[in-house]
Copies of this chain bind each other. A is one copy, B any other.
Amino acid sequence: MYVSVQDQPFDLGTVSAKFAEGHSNNGAIVTFTGLVRGGADDRLEAMEIEHYPGMTEAALNAMAENAINRFSLGDALIIHRYGRLVPGEMIMMVATAARHRKNAFEAAEFLMDYLKSRAPFWKREISDSGASWVASKDEDEDALSRW
């Protein structure tokens, strides 16, 4: 299990390759990577992510442990950045390893659903018209009800 809350970028290739190493009992590996989108008309200059040091690490560790137990994972990984990011940059990623594909997929979706509305991160979008906090979506809250 690996959990990291960091302001520095991470390398998807390096992280994916390292995560996949030595999984001779886990036939299925799923990764999800979230990137900063440019926005509807590409006017987003940057995204600033604030978090709650201490609580964030504890929340992410608990989510990864829950996923491992619930979906019988061989391994799980969560990396989430904070600070200022520009469009195209990677915000976060999760990775899951399981014996079969169904559990690996479900665990990755489970982690994403919890990260969206239960991990203490707040996004603010900076464009040429100013800065605004990203509003939470009802659909993200609703997504939790399936677990």
- A-side residues, CB < 8 A to B, are 11-18, 20, 22-38, 42, 87-88, 90, 99, 101, 104-105, 108-109, 112
Contacts and interface: CB of A to CB of B under 8 A. Distances in A.
Number of copies of this protein chain within its complex:
2
B29 A32 contact: yes
B88 A32 contact: no
Nearest to A116: B101
B11 A25 contact: no
Contacts of A42: 24
Contacts of A34: 27-29, 101
22 contacts: A12-B16, A13-B14, A13-B16, A16-B31, A20-B35, A24-B35, A24-B36, A24-B88, A25-B38, A26-B35, A27-B36, A28-B32, A28-B33, A28-B34, A28-B35, A29-B33, A30-B30, A32-B101, A32-B104, A34-B101, A101-B112, A105-B109
A12 B15 CA distance: 10
